[in-house]
């Protein structure tokens, strides 16, 4: 699927990722989460293997990615979207919103319509609220970054 931002969206289970796709995904996550956010953490947490991976491509460049979990895989009673990441070089084009809309739709396609829970960085509260997520608990720190739990009810 291609959106109005000229991004081609692809969803694959871990076992079907090519070496090049996996490398691009891990590189983008490292660029943003480790380098840009100056956060030392172990990104390879043995959960990628359980997830479906959404990748947004412009040509041969990965510009956005998420990983999707079925109910109970990340949060008991909820589907989940995690490792939401967009390329710094392509920000301000609406790709992040397209990424989340596509990821929400893919959760419904893959797992059925259900509530989705995320651990959102606190500063992105408004962004996720605009996509139907509501804060569902207190702020907490994950890898020294402020996060909040948010839930999007089944729609």
Question: What are the mean pLDDT values of the chain's consecutive 10-residue runs (155 residues total)?
Answer: 78 98 97 90 92 97 98 97 96 95 98 98 96 97 94 94
What pLDDT, on a 0 to 100 scale, did the predictor assign at position 39?
85
d(CA 95, CA 4): 9
Domains in the chain with CATH codes: 8-117 (3.40.630.30)
Average model confidence (pLDDT) across the chain: 95
What pLDDT, on a 0 to 100 scale, did the predictor assign at position 155?
85
The model's pLDDT over 34-57, given as tens digits with 9 standing for 90+, comes to: 899 988 888 899 999 999 999 999
Q: What is the DSSP string of 106-153?
A: HHHHHH-S--EEEEEEGGGHHHHHTTT-EE-S--EEETTEEEEEEEE-
Confidence (pTM): 0.94
Comparing CA positions, the residue from 153, 52, 17, 35 lying closest to residue 88 is: 35
What pLDDT, on a 0 to 100 scale, did the predictor assign at position 41?
86
The model's pLDDT over 51-75, given as tens digits with 9 standing for 90+, comes to: 999 999 999 999 999 999 999 999 9
């Amino acid at each position: 699927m291609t959106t109005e931002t000229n991004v081609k969206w692809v969803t694959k289970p871990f076992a079907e990722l090519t070496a090049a796709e996996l490398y691009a995904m891990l590189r983008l996550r490292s660029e943003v989460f480790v380098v840009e956010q100056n956060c030392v953490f172990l990104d390879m947490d043995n959960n990628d293997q359980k997830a479906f991976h959404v990748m947004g491509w412009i040509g041969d460049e990965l510009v956005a990615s998420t990983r999707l979990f079925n109910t109970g895989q990340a949060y008991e009673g909820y589907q989940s979207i995690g490792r939401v990441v967009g390329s710094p070089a392509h920000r301000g084009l609406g790709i992040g919103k397209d990424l989340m809309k596509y990821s929400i739709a893919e959760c419904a396609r893959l797992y059925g319509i259900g509530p989705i829970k995320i651990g959102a960085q606190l500063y992105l509260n408004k962004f996720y609220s605009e996509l139907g997520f509501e804060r569902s608990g207190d702020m907490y720190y994950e890898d020294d970054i402020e996060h909040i739990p948010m839930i999007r009810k089944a729609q």
